[in-house]
Amino acid sequence: MVVKFGYPYVINSGGVFGLFPGTVWIQPLVVVACSIVFGYWVVRSKRASRQELVVIGLFAGGGFANLLDRLRFGGVVDFIDIGIFTSFNLADLAIVGGLVIFLCQRTFQVILNNLNKNKI
């Protein structure tokens, strides 16, 4: 398999990585709602870990960067293409990176909690 790398200029009217095409104005509502929920959670918990703050920063940064593109261009500008997947941008990478960190953190937290419960 040959992987081609390129820099296309694509206006994406869908969600992250081109999913859900044609949903231009639903995405900003999701970004704002998620940012409010995450912000409320951080303020309410008063003890968010560094990893949680990084995750929130990646989600919010990626979401708001895509939101600015939508307001300015009517869609998100995707400019990275690695040939084996749809084109994407750095904001998409931030959102997905935040999700991966979040899932890894939660998974390890559950495993450690279970191990500590089973200690005698």
Note down the domain range covering 76.
Answer: 10-117
Q: Is 92 in the active site? A: yes
Catalytic residue among 78, 91, 95, 98: 78
Q: Mapping DSSP to helix (H, G, I), strand (E, B) and coil, where does residue 10 land?
A: strand
What pLDDT is attached to residue 1?
44
Q: Is 85 a domain residue?
A: yes
Q: Is the dihedral of CA 34, 38, 43, 45 positive or negative?
A: positive
Q: pLDDT (tens digit, 9 = 90+) per residue, 41-91?
A: 777 777 778 888 888 889 889 988 988 988 888 888 888 888 777 788 899
What is the arithmetic mean of pLDDT over 84-104? 87
Q: Is 5 a domain residue?
A: no
What is the arithmetic mean of pLDDT over 97-102? 90
Nearest to 27 by CA among 8, 12, 38: 12
Q: Is 81 in the active site? A: no
Q: Is 1 a domain residue?
A: no
Alpha-carbon span 64 to 115, nearest angstrom: 38
Counting the structural domains of the chain, the total is 1
**CB 76 within 8 Å of CB 66:** yes
**CB 85 within 8 Å of CB 17:** yes
pLDDT > 90 in the chain, percent: 8
Q: Is 35 a domain residue?
A: yes
Catalytic residue among 92, 94, 95, 98: 92
Backbone φ, ψ for residue 11 (5° rounding)? -90, 115
> Encoding tokens for residue 61?
């940064």
